[in-house]
Structure formats: C-alpha cells, structure tokens
Structure 1
Amino acid sequence: MKIRYLSAAIVSLFSPIAFALTPFVVKDIRVEGIQRTEAGTVFNYLPIRIGDTVNDDKVSQAIKSLYGTGFFRDVRIESDKDVLVVIVEERPAIAQISFSGNDEFKTDDLLKGLKEAGISESRTFDRSLLDKAEQEIKRLYLTKSYYGVRIKTTVSPLERNRVAINFEIDEGEVAKIKDVKIIGATKFKESTLLDLMTQETTGMWSWWNKNDRYSKPKLLGDLEAIKSYYMDRGYVDFNVESTQVSITPDRKNVYITIAIHEGEQYKISTVKLAGDLIVPDDELKPLVKVKPGDIFSRAQINDTSKALTDRFGNDGYAFANVNASPDIDKENREVALTFFVDPGRRAYVNRINIAGNNKTRDEVIRRELRQPEGAWFDRESVERSKTRLDRTGFFDEVNLQTKAVEGTTDQVDLNVNVKERPTGNVTLGVGYSQVDKVVLSAGIAQNNLFGTGNSLSLNLNTGKTNKTLALSYTNPYWTPDGISRGFDAYHREVNTDSDTISVARYKSKSDGVGVRFGVPVTEDDTINFGATLDRTNIETFDDSPQQYVDFVNQFGNDTTTLALTAAWSRDKRDSLVYPTTGLYQRVGLELATPPLEQRYYKASYQIQNFTPLNRTFTLMLNADFGYAKGYGGKPLPFYKNYYAGGIGSVRGFDDSSLGPKVKNPDGSDSDEALGGNRRIVTNAELLFPFPGMKEQDRSVRLSVFIDGGQVWGEDQKVKLSDMRWSTGVALSWASPIGPLKFSIGYPIKKEEGDKSQRFQFQLGQIF
C-alpha cells in the first residue's frame, strides 16, 4: 500500500498537513528523481533516519528541509509499506553565463559580481535570483555613471536539465556632471570652493580622470574637503545642510546642488595643557601650534595633538593619548582649547618580529632599524627605521606596528611587516636624446644580491656621442657600523664629431677601475671617498681647437690618471624619487695625483631645497658651482672641462653650448663650445602633479622653471652679468622604460652667437 503525502509546494502554503498519517517505523529509505545530486546529499539533509517513527510533523519538517536546500524544484514523500520514498524534482544547473554589449566592464568583472549575488556556472539555477543578478550588474554600471543602462536576460534550456543564461546589456551613454552649485557661500567665492572638489563639470582632463562622472564616495570626500577648508579658517559652526543630486529624464546629465551654513569665524581665547604632564613644559610648549588670538584651525589642532603624542612616544610612552577639548563661546565667538594628556605607562620593546621577507635576510632589515630590543620605546626611532627601510628600495610596503605584550603593562613588541619587490632585472631597451639620438641599452642588475642587500650591475649603452660599458658592485654594509664599499670598472667612448652637439671636435676612449667607500657620520650625513685609475686615448682632428692639439702634443694620445675623490653630503629630502620637502647639500673634490702624469683638481658644491607651498605645489631651488684647475705646472685636461646648456642645466639653450667658443681664423667666435674650468648653474622650479593624475601616482610631474647658468674659461673673469637665463615648462615621467623628460624653454637673456633650442627631451636612461 502506498500513501502519498503533500508536495513541498502545498506544504509551503498549508500547515499543518491536511491529511492524517498513521505513524510507522521506517525500515528503509529510497530516493527517486535525482540526476546530478548524490543520494548521500539527500540523506544528509533529510531529518529522518532508519528506525525513526514517522508522523505528520516529521514528514512536514523533512519536506521543508529538503526544499530549503534550493537544490529541488519540488519534493514529495510517499510510503511503500515500511519504506520511506523521497521523490524530488531537481532545479536545473547553470551550464554557462554569457554577456553581450559590455564594453565598460570586462566579462570577468561581471562574473565576479554575479558570483557574489549567488549566480555562477555549475550552481543550481534559481529564477528568483535573476532579478538580484540584474540589479548587481546595474549597480556596477551606476558606479561608472551609466544611469541609462538596460539589461535583458534570456534563459535557454539545455540537455541534461541545464540552462544557459545570457545578459544582453545596452550600456547607454555616460551621464556627466552638467553643473555643480554651492548655495550659502558668502565668506569665500564659490569658485574657490569648487576648486576643492574632485567632482566637476567636463573639462580638459576629464577624458583622463573621469571626474565629470558622478560618484557618491567622491562627493562625500568633496564635502569633507569643503568642511575642512572652513574649519581650518575658524568657522566652527560650518555645516553641510543638504546635498541634492538630480539626473535629467534622458539620464545623460547630472546636477549637484550643495547647501551650506557657514556660521561665524571663531578665534582661540586660551590654550591649556592638562593631565599627567610628565615632560617639562619648556619642551611641550614649542610643540603647541595654536596660540591665543589665532583663528581657530582644526588642522593646527590636529598637528599639535600629533606633535605632543609623538613627543611622549619619544620617551617610551607608546600608548600616549592627547585629546583636544574645545569650549565654544558662541556669544563672543571664541574657543578655549584644552589638550588633555594621558601618557599611559612607559613601555620598552620586548621583541622585534620580522615578517614578509621571503628573500631578504633578517639581518639586512635589522641593520636598518634604529629601535633596539630591550630599550625604551622611541617613536622617533621607529619612524626613522621605517624611512631607512623604504630607502633600501627592496620593499613595496613597510609597516611597523607596536603590540602590547599579553600579561604585561610595560612591554610592547615591534612587528615589522614588509612586502618585497623584485630587485633583480634584465633590461633591453631603446632610448632617445637629442644629443645621442637613438641609444640602445642592455643591462642586468640585482640590487639585493642573494638577499644580502649588496648590489651588482652590468650596463651597456650606445649613442652617437657617448658609449658606455660599466660594471659596478656595492656592499652597503662592508662593516657592521654601516661603512660601504664599492668597485667600478668602465669603458667609455666620446665622439663629438657630430652636427648634433655644439662641443668642439675630438674623440676619446677611456678605461678605468675604481674603489669607493661611504662612511655615515649621522643619519643624514655621509662622507664618501675613493680612487680611480683611468687611461684615456685621445684623437684630434685637423679642425680641432689648438688647445686640444697642444694637450696631445704635450702628453701624447694616451694619458693615465690616478684620481682621488672625496665628498660630503647631507640629504634631508623626504623622497629620492618625488621630493616635496627637505634640503640636500653636497661638496665634492676630485684630485689627480702623482706618481702619474696628470695634475688637476675639480671642486663642486650643490645645494638644493624643496619647500612645500601647499598640498599641490612645491618650490625647488637649486644652485650648482664647479671649479677646476691644473697644478704642478700641468694644465687641466680639456676633456675634464665643465659645460652648460641643455635639459640637465640651462634649458632653452642648445646642449653644452654655453661658455667659451672656438675662435675662427678671423678672431670671431665659432659655434663650437670649448667648455671651461668654472661653472655656475641655478634653477628655480615650481613643481606640481600632472593634472588629472591621482595624488598617490608620483610617476608624472609638471613644473614651471627659471634657469640660469654660464661657463668661464681660465682666461676669463667670472661675471654674473654673463649668465644666460631661460624660462619655460617641463615634464618628467618615471616611465616603465626609464626616465622621460620634456622641456619647452625660452631664453630670456641671450647674447649673439648663443644657440637656442626651444623643445628638448630625453627618453630612456642615459648612462
């Protein structure tokens, strides 16, 4: 006898079960109707086991449980004597998902979004999820301002109870911001506030940055930027009252309206420090950036809180907390500030744990750390450690975090987490400069050799004027206290027999080997010294300058030089690639000494300063001085002369064209430069990011510059009035194939005979 019970569809509508069941003991269970689903899966979800007594409640519970898995379209339970028969109708499986018309998003991105919505290939098909899938696709398109997107879904049945789903997408047009209005702005111009926003109407760079597409997260960031602007200028009561975003019926244009309440400007009435002030007042007061009478500034208050926190951290208080509490007097429009200090307990570093260095040895990381184990925690030393690790160039990311040691109140562990970057590379490339024209380059380098921190490189460059083959090896920690040692070997060829360069004609081939050392004096100061043995072969031409010919007649075509070098440098720049603040200085000396035949010295001094004017603009000032002379009755070798002009010194003038010129037979100056033994180059440059580039993208930078410079010969008197000046705009790009530089320079002081060159560029690393 068979007894049939209600299907899952009916059970879901009526409860309890309408038909009475005579309870019986299950002696066996049989599953019918399954095609892809394993019988074990059904048994796993079935709440009835052999030996159980079945009644109405258990049958109802079993049907609901199996139906709830989502695997089955229908579930029925029957009895065949003492056998429980479970009959299921499986839902179809998704065999494939396809898209058409999706140009803005890659198919993989859409599939990822659908997977999060519960739809992917091989999963059970549930038609109720199609609406959710369409909404997910629309959500993705709305993030790109495709408000007119339309989606048509087609489900096609396939053999073996499978289906294919196709999403036909009509993306429509991108909705762009047509207008942005700020209502209520009286203290500042609306245009000033709009300049603070990334969301903007279509402009010159919109094709690149896409800031004319509405984005809610970007708009929220813009509102915070406007609020910060007001709060930093004393408007404590500032508030964004409403934000309205509307889209036209054709879904092509977006209008944004922001209503603000500015309030009145407040000043600081009093500033107090309260709490446990364990640091002397004379050390804390200079850190307070706000003074009575100043206009209220949230940025300065935050800077003060951070400076105080860092100061306590320098004395071992790793968990110091400084909170600024404002007491607002609305009647007098004044704010009384109290900085409450809670230094916490003083802590020392128990252990330093290093993670993420799969290749780099622990010792390479530890030698850069300035925070030792077993010493009091020092926040300044921790920050300095991070900076030194960043400067190695071995890591993409460096994070230093402190964690309290469990069970103690005065110990912390310092966790150093690094993400290594590839430090070895093989390069094959083509560069271009207006001097060397096409330059073929090849190189192999490993800046972290076998994880030791040592560097080894071999480079080959070919150019019409300059050719170089160079081998270099450096051990930055030749001694445990940080003295570096390096070796160099090179072969260089110079050929100025070209119309592309303004230097007088000669050829030279140089081979040399050298050793160098670097001694760190402080964290920012380094003394370098070394020695190089160089042998140079010189070839002159019939029309070479008489000075060149006289030098060859005196010393022959082959000259050997032993040059000793010494230099002191101080580098306080915040970055080597994209500096925005800090001072750099370098003093250098090259001395050719006995017992070899050449006798000369070259002294140089460079000072460079970066000053941030605001978050966008940085002012760079640079001055470079050089002086060279022979001694002991020997002349300065002409191939050691200084030159100026071009993209590396005074832009807008032809490369190496400034200074003394070769004399024509009639006594007039020719176009060929001789170079000189004294040089001055100055640069003032206003640096700013490339418009439309993200703030964190530091590969491209624009600038407006003023350059000045000149070269003088030994028989000339140095006169600043002789200097040539130029102005223009420049672009630098740290491209994947090497540094790229463009400049458009206009000479603003030019004398007769000077050769100008408005557009100059260099592509690729020229060694």
Structure 2
Amino acid sequence: MKKPMTLTRLTLALAAVFVTHAASAEAPFVVKDIRVEGIQRTEAGTVFSYLPVKVGDTMTDEKTAAAIKALYATGFFKDVRLEARDGVVIVTVQERPSIAKITLSGIKEFSEDDLKAGLKQTGLAEGRVLDRSLVEKAEQELQRQYFNRGKYAVEIKSTLTPLERNRVAVQFDVVEGDSAKIRQINIVGNKAFKEKELLNQLTSTTPNWLTWYTKNDQYSKTRLAGDLEALRSFYLNRGYLEFNVDSTQVSISPDKQGIYITVNVTEGPQYRVSDVKLAGQMLVPEAELRKLITLEPGEVFERDRLTESTKKIGDRLGNDGYAFANVNAVPELDKEKSTVAFTLFVDPGRRVYVNRINVAGNTRTRDEVVRREIRQMEGAYYDAEKINRSRDRLNRLGYFNEVNIETPSVAGTTDQVDVNVSVAEKSTGNIMLGAGFSSSEGLVLSGSVSQSNVFGTGNRLSAQINSGSVNTVYSLSYTNPYYTIDGISLGYDIYRRDVDASELDGVGDYETSTYGAGVRFGLPINERDFISFGLTYEQTSITTDADSPTNYQKFEEEFGSDNDTVRVDTSWARDTRNSHLFPTRGLFQRVAAEVGTPLGSLEYYKLSFQHQQYFPLSKRFTLMLNGEVGVGGGLSDKPLPFFKNFYAGGTSSVRGFENGTLGPKDDENNALGGDKRVVGNAELFFPLPGLKDDQSLRMSAFVDAGATFGPNDDQHRYENFAFGDLRYSAGVAVLWVSPLGPLKFSLAQPLSSKEDDEEEMFQFTLGNVF
C-alpha cells in the first residue's frame, strides 16, 4: 500500500522539475486564456476555482508551482501538467478513479451494512474519489472493530480492481478467525482480600457456562477500565484510602487465541473515620444536616456513604431553592493512627427562583396532561425534590419513552432558572394477541385492545379477553385519572368472568358465570397514598353437580343458582417502591374491603391487608418480606358465598403446593377455600450468576408459609387458625421478562406437608395470565 504514495510524490517531483525547466526557457507572461484537458467527471469550473491563477495575471515560476500544488491538494487528480502556448495556459490532468463498488467477503461477526456505514465515516464510500490512504485507514478501522470483539487473529486484505470509465471496485476479504478468550486474570499485591473475592468484582471473566451469552470472556479495553474502577470502589468502600492500581499488563498468546491479564495493586492501610465536621455557610440548621450524614466516627471508611452524605446535603439545600449548592469533602489523614477526619464544606450559592416551565416534545399528548404531573410551580423557589418527583410521575404515566428535565439559568439573571421538560412520546395504543401457559391453568389465550392516552387526554380505554381452562374473562374499562382538577379519578367497568373449578386438581367442583358493571373513584391523599371507592352490580349463575362438595350443593339449594350482588369496594394503598417490575427498595401496603350490601341477594364482607417491603442489602441483593391477612363472613344471617372464599397454595402464595389446595377440605379431600387466609413470604432476590447487569432476568431464594381456615372444613382440621396448620415451603425461582411476556418458574420443596396435601414442586407461568 506504500507504493502508490511513492509514485504520487515522484510524479509531483517530476512535474515540478518540468515546470522549472519550462520556466527557465520562457520569461513571465500575461495569461490570455486557460484551458483544461483530460477531465471526465470533474467540472472545468471546479478546476478553475482551485487555480491560484486567473486570466490577466502574470504567470511566474512561483505561480506555476502553486497551481500544481493546489490541484494535487484537491485529491481529485493523480497527475497534473501545465504548459504555456502563446499566452494560453493548458492544464492537463489525469483524474483519480472513482469507487464504483465496495464489497466485503467473509463477514459474519458484523452486519455488512453497518460496516459500510462505518467506512463511509472514514471517507471511503461508493461514488467518491479513490484515495489509497483511505483504503489503508479502512483496513485499520475494520481491524479495530474486530479487536473490540476479541478477534485478534483476524486477517483483512484489500483488492482494487480497475473498471471501465476510470472506475475501480474495492473489495475487502476478511478471515475472521476465532475470538480470543480471557484465559487468566491475575491480581498481584493483594493481602487483605483473597484473589477470588476480588475477581468477583470484575465483569471480565474466564470462560464459564454463561459466557457464550454474556461475552464477558472476550477482552475489551473499555470493560477492563470499568473493572479497575469497580476494584478501586471495592477497596475504597472498605477503608483502603491509599489503594492504587500500579499497572496493568495485557498479553496475548502466540496463536492469538488467549488473553492473559495481570493487575498490580498496592492496598495500603485500612482507615477508620475519626471525625466528620461541617463548615461553610449552613442555611439549614446544622443539627438537621448532621442527620443526613451516614458516615459515623469509629467506623471503617466507606466512600459510597461519604458520597451519599454529600448528595443528601446538596439535595436538602436544593429543596430550599439553592439549585447550585456544592458540598466538598476534604480529608485529613493521620497515617500513624490510620484514621481520617472529614470536613464537609457547604457552599449553598444563591437562592434560585423558577422563571418559566417549558414543555416540549409532546406532539400528541396535550400540554395540560404533562403540566398536571409537574409539582414545581412557576415563580416559586426551586425545589429539587419536587422536580425529581415530577420526573417520576411523568415516567409512571407510560406515555413517554424518555423524560428529561433541565434547569438552565435565565440569561441576564443570577437567581432565576427555567425548567425545561422534554419528552419523547411513544405509542400508547396496543393491540395484542397472545398465549400463555401456567402449571395450574394450562393454555391461556389472550387478546386485548387498549389505549392509555385517548386523543392525548391521558384517559385510558381498554378491552380484554383472556381464556383459560379455569378463568375466562371478558372486560371493558374506561378511566379518567383527572376527573377533577384535584386528581380524583373516575372509571367504569363492564365484565364477564367464568370460573370452572373442576379444571383444578384437588379443588371442589363448581362453575360460576358472573356479569358485572361498576363505577369507581380514586382519590390521591398525597404522593404516596391513594384511596379508592367503587360500586358494582353483579349477577352470578352457579352450577354444581353430584361431585361438588355438599355445602356447595346446599348453598345452591338454599339461595338458588342465580344471585345478584350490589357490591361496595373500598381500599387504601401506599406505594413507595422504586419500580413496579424489579423493585429494590420501598414498601407497598394495602387495606381493602369488599361488601355485598342488602340491596342484593348476597350479603357478605371480605377484608384484606397486605404489607410488602423491599430492603436493599447491597447493590446485588434485595430482601423482600410480604405478609397478607384476609377475613370474610356473611351478613344478615347469610353465609359467605363459597365462590367468594379465600384460597392459598400455588405460584402467588405458597409455592410447592397445588393452586388453591391449602385449607379446609371435604370428605373427598377436595379443597373448599375458607373465610380466613394467612400468607407470608420471605424472598432474597439477586442476579443470575454470570448476568450481573441484565435487568430483564433475576433469581431468588424464598421461604413461603400460608393456609386458609374456615368452619366448612369437613375434616375438622382447619376450622380455626393455628400456626401448626400452616404449610411451609422453600426453594428457588427465576423471573425473566422475555419477548413473549413475563416468565416465572419456581422449584420448591414443601417443608411441612401432610399425607393428603397436593404437592407440586415445579410451577411456572408464561405470559400475562389474568
């Protein structure tokens, strides 16, 4: 590839010699005309625009050399000659060939279109003038792309094929070879921690059973830099303030198939915190700011806790309008005692007001739908907490792919900012046909049509059909989340629900068909608490047979097969979870009541309480504790309808037992459900080994407990609540948000089963099952 460059320089030198020789034969002259010869694609005007000589100018040796140099510099020509005839300058050029076609062969690791797009950015593209130096640059860029994928044995060869009309075809032949794998990672200099523990902090790893998917066994310079920072954070969070990565060596085996990494570190001593002081301008009482400091004297230093403390102080000042507050932590090391004291210097800056709130990007959603979720007010002090809450509320709407809030200063002022809310809308309509499968219901067909932002108003409209062997649901619902300006919601529901309990093993046979219509209201008490109230009318048809439990048959005989209910539903809920799918902190509490009023033929009540809380144990481990209690009964000397009973057992309560089988049973050992229900779960969530950063997949280890109780127990074992009658199980579970929908499966071992319990160790659900 170096030869053409040499020829070009030689041509230029020879041309210069020729010009010099010609110039020595003729004296300077006035240019009467300029002619261009040899051009095929290039316009004559383009040549004239680059020439430093015009008609009427005096042609000299210096201008001749400058003209040749200028035309070569365009890159359009591989040869340039100047001649003079009776005052006419004749410019004779030989154009570089144009690129007619670029082909790549042997490409498997990348998309050919993506690589061509990358080559175009380097200047090599079809239709452009060929520059051999760009071909070399393209080879290097392709090689770099393969090196980033760990293919160090790649071979790339370029071939230029001349074509008619001064064109050329460029072909890159690629032999990709195999990806080089990280064969060994060594950490040298560690004393306080075992090498295995340190290697667990790195994303890069040697081949294992999951690296075919994660590709983490392929060397990447960027990934290694991130790993070294993770290693540094590991030490700094354990008090090693003077930790340092001295050097990193990366070597490759002669066959270019193996990568060997050696990291040399110096740990230094472990430091404890001796004191934490506050200094500077503290506009908030010092006692209040001290409560935000999580770093305590006497403890081992942790950088994350120091960062958290400074951020909390900055956020607290931001809540009072000090948008540009700055908190700097200055350490004082005592190397003899291995202690460190910190002084947190607080600089609040100016108090800032909000000038205007601007909304952009909402092409379909009405402006008022966005603005009613914003908690920051124009003309008020800047409040960081309200702005963050506004961002969370907009994200929770589900109307936008992205929500960005910026607070630029207002030009010409020192104490005002604008709040610019920028959203990127997404499609909020959804038509879905799908299928799911659960271990309890078998095949479940589903279909839905929904629009969560009807005409940009923020109102929701949906129609759903879900067909399973046990539950079949048809529903139509409409919700206006802002029926009033204060955020009171109004919704309507029409539905049909068919239940065929005979399809569940171990549960008493019966069938119900329920038609219902209702109206509901919701009232937000604050940002976390929500109260709802609903009124529903239902008509239920009951079908029993000779195999149905006796009390089911008696209920049908006494109250008939057709009943109606005027039902009142009310609930209070508090939700502080940071995510609805994979929460890592926060709690969810709910108290609910369902009452069948005297306006219908069925009179009953059902009360339930749930408390669920998530505790972040570390960045990777989250503990979830969940408790549920339910109680129900009849009113006006009427019993609780058996089809309103509580059930326990299965994937949503106590895994390891068949769905709905824990509790009162008839003489045939069929589960009847009960008027009381107790369920408890403790679950430890963590990433699947080898998939540390995959947000769509996580694993858990759990312990479940629960059962139902009631007076309808023919075996007289679950008539009254007793801890000895609770059933326990333990196991592991995996939740994967797959392209087909959520996939949940668990492997559980019952710990306290009785002889007649219906066990089911492996349970799973695929798709959205309602």
TM range (shorter): over 0.9
Deviation at 1:292, TM superposition (A): 2.7
Q: 1:608 aligns with which of 609, 612, 616?
A: 612
- The DSSP-based 3-state class of the residue aligned with 2:565 is strand
Residue equivalent to 1:173 = 178
* 1:639 aligned residue: 643
- Which whole-Å CA distance do the structure 1 matches of 2:19 and 2:674 have between them? 105
Measure the CA separation in 2 of the matches of 1:660 and 1:723: 12
Query: How far apart, CA to CA, are the structure 2 residues paired with 1:425 and 1:51?
Result: 73
Q: Which moved more, 1:43-52 or 1:482-491?
A: 43-52
Paired amino acid for 2:354: V
Residue 715 of structure 2 is aligned to residue 711 of structure 1: no
Counterpart Cα distance in 2 of 1:256 and 1:142: 16
| Cα distance between partner residues in 2 of 1:699 and 1:514 | 36
Residue of structure 2 in register with 1:597 after alignment: 601
2:694 is the counterpart of 1:689? no
Map 1:569-588 → 2, pairs under 5 A: 569-588=573-592
Contact 2:604 2:634 in 1 (8 A): yes
2:15, 2:81 within 8 Å by CA — same for their partners in 1?
no
2:163 to 148, 153, 158: 158
Deviation at 1:758, TM superposition (A): 1.3
CA distance in 2, matches of 1:735, 1:487: 32
Deviation, 1:13, is 6.4
* SS at structure 1 position matched to 2:89: strand
CA contact (8 A) 2:77 2:95 kept: yes
CA contact (8 A) 2:276 2:342 kept: yes
Cα shift at 1:404: 0.9
TM-score under structure 1 normalisation? Answer: 0.96
Alignment correspondent of 1:41: 46
Which letter maps to 2:675? N
Please state how far the C-alpha of 1:243 moved relative to its aligned partner: 0.6
Give the Cα separation in 2 of the matches to 1:572 and 1:319: 28
> What SS class does the counterpart of residue 570 from structure 1 fall into?
strand
- 1:98–1:165: 8 Å Cα contact kept in structure 2? yes
Q: State the alpha-carbon separation in 2 of the partners of residues 178 and 678 from structure 1.
A: 59
SS in 2 for 1:259: strand
Match of 2:461 in 1: 456
Q: How does 1:239-254 map to 2 (within 5 A)?
A: 239-254=244-259
Task: Tell me the amino acid that sits aligned with residue 163 of structure 1.
Answer: V
Matched, 1:728 2:731: yes
**How far off its partner does 1:594 sit?**
1.7
Matches within 5 A, 1:619-634: 619-634=623-638
**2:697 matches 1:700:** yes
CA distance in 1, matches of 2:286, 2:126: 68
CA-CA distance at 1:575 after TM superposition: 1.0
Residues 89-488 of structure 1: pairs in structure 2 closer than 5 A: 89-488=94-493
User: How far is 1:465 from its partner?
Assistant: 1.7
Structure 1 residue runs of 4 or more that deviate by more than 4 Å after TM superposition: 11-16
Cα distance in 2 between the residues matched to 1:508 and 1:7: 95
In the TM superposition, what whole-angstrom CA distance separates every residue of 1:691-737 from its partner, at most 9, and x where no partner exists?
34362x42222111111110112250111110111111111122333
Match of residue 3 from structure 2: none
Q: Which residue of 1 aligns with 2:764?
A: 761
1:583–1:691 CA distance, 2 compared to 1 (3 A): same
Q: CA shift at 1:755, angstroms?
A: 0.8
Q: Deviations over 1:407-448 (max 9, x none)?
A: 111111111122222211110111112232222211111111
Deviations along 1:279-322, one digit per CA (max 9) or x if unpaired, are: 11111111122233232222221111111111111111011111
| Alpha-carbon distance in structure 2 between the residues aligned to 1:598 and 1:733 | 41
Secondary structure of the 1:226 match is helix
For the residues of structure 2 that align with 1:735 and 1:532, how far apart are their CA atoms? Answer: 36
Q: Amino acid of the residue matched to residue 685 of structure 2?
A: L
Q: Which residue of 1 aligns with 2:6?
A: none
Structure 1 counterpart of 2:556, from 538, 547, 552: 552
- Residue of structure 2 aligned with 1:566, choices 570, 573, 589: 570
CA contact (8 A) 1:7 1:75 kept: no
Q: Partner letter of residue 748 of structure 1? A: L
For the residue of structure 1 that corresponds to 2:389, the secondary structure is helix
Deviation at 1:53, TM superposition (A): 2.4
Residue in 2 that maps onto 1:667: none
Q: Which residues of structure 2 form unaligned runs of 5+?
A: 1-8, 713-718
Determine the C-alpha separation between the residues in 1 that align with 2:486 and 2:678. 37
Could you tell me how far apart the structure 2 residues matched to 1:39 and 1:97 are? 28
Give the percent of matched residue pairs that are identical in Structure 1 and Structure 2.
52
CA contact (8 A) 2:16 2:65 kept: no
Q: 1:124 to 1:673 in 2, by over 3 A?
A: same
Q: Which amino acid aligns with 2:148?
A: T
For the 8 Å contact 1:8–1:76, the answer to whether it is kept is: no
**More displaced, 28-37 or 160-169?**
28-37
**How big is the alpha-carbon RMSD for the aligned residues of Structure 1 and Structure 2?**
1.7
1:743 corresponds to 2:741: no
Q: CA deviation at 1:12?
A: 7.3
Task: State how far apart, in whole Å, the 1-side matches of 2:577 and 2:755 are.
Answer: 40
SS of the counterpart of 1:741? strand
How far apart are the structure 1 equivalents of 2:174 and 2:107? 6
Question: What CA distance in whole angstroms lies between the structure 2 residues aligned with 1:473 and 1:99?
Answer: 55
Partner of 2:751, secondary structure, is strand
Separation of aligned partners in 1, 2:29 and 2:456 = 74
Structure 2 Cα separation of the partners of residues 503 and 49 of structure 1: 101
Q: Which amino acid is 1:706 matched to?
A: V
Out of 737-746 and 615-624, give the one that drifted further. Answer: 737-746
Deviation, 1:11, is 6.2
Q: How far apart, CA to CA, are the structure 2 residues paired with 1:707 and 1:39? A: 85
Distance in 2 between residues matched to 1:623 and 1:587, nearest whole Å: 12
Structure 1 unaligned spans of 5+: 1-5, 665-669
**TM-score for the superposition, normalised by structure 2:** 0.96
Instruction: Give 1:528 deviation, angstroms.
Output: 0.6
For 2:549, the aligned partner's letter is P
What SS does the aligned partner of 1:287 have?
Answer: coil
Provide Cα deviations, 1:343-368, integer angstroms capped at 9, x if missing partner: 11101100111122222222111111
- In structure 2, C-alpha distance between the alignment counterparts of 1:62 and 1:692, rounded to whole Å: 64
Distance in 2 between the 1:629 and 1:332 partners? 68
2-structure distance, mates of 1:656, 1:680 = 13
Encode CA deviations 1:446-474: one digit per residue, 9 max, x unaligned.
11111111111111111222211110111
Aligned positions, number: 754
Distance 2:455 2:577 in 1: 29
| Aligned partner letter, 2:187 | I
Question: Could you tell me how far apart the structure 2 residues matched to 1:470 and 1:698 are?
Answer: 32
Rounded Cα–Cα distance in structure 1 between residues aligned with 2:395 and 2:94: 62
Change (3 A) 1:605 1:153: same
CA contact (8 A) 1:208 1:692 kept: no
Deviation for aligned residue 1:762: 1.1
Aligned partner of residue 591 in structure 2, secondary structure:
strand
Q: What does residue 67 of structure 2 align with? A: 62
Q: What is the rounded CA distance, in whole Å, between the counterparts of 2:447 and 2:238 in structure 1? A: 55
Q: How far does residue 390 in structure 1 lie from its aligned partner after superposition?
A: 1.4
Q: In the alignment, which residue of structure 2 is the partner of 1:3?
A: none
> Could you say which residue in structure 2 is the equivalent of 1:535?
539
Stretch moving more, 338-347 or 683-692: 683-692
Give the match's secondary structure for 1:749.
coil
**Whole-angstrom CA distance in 2 between matches of 1:12 and 1:702:** 74
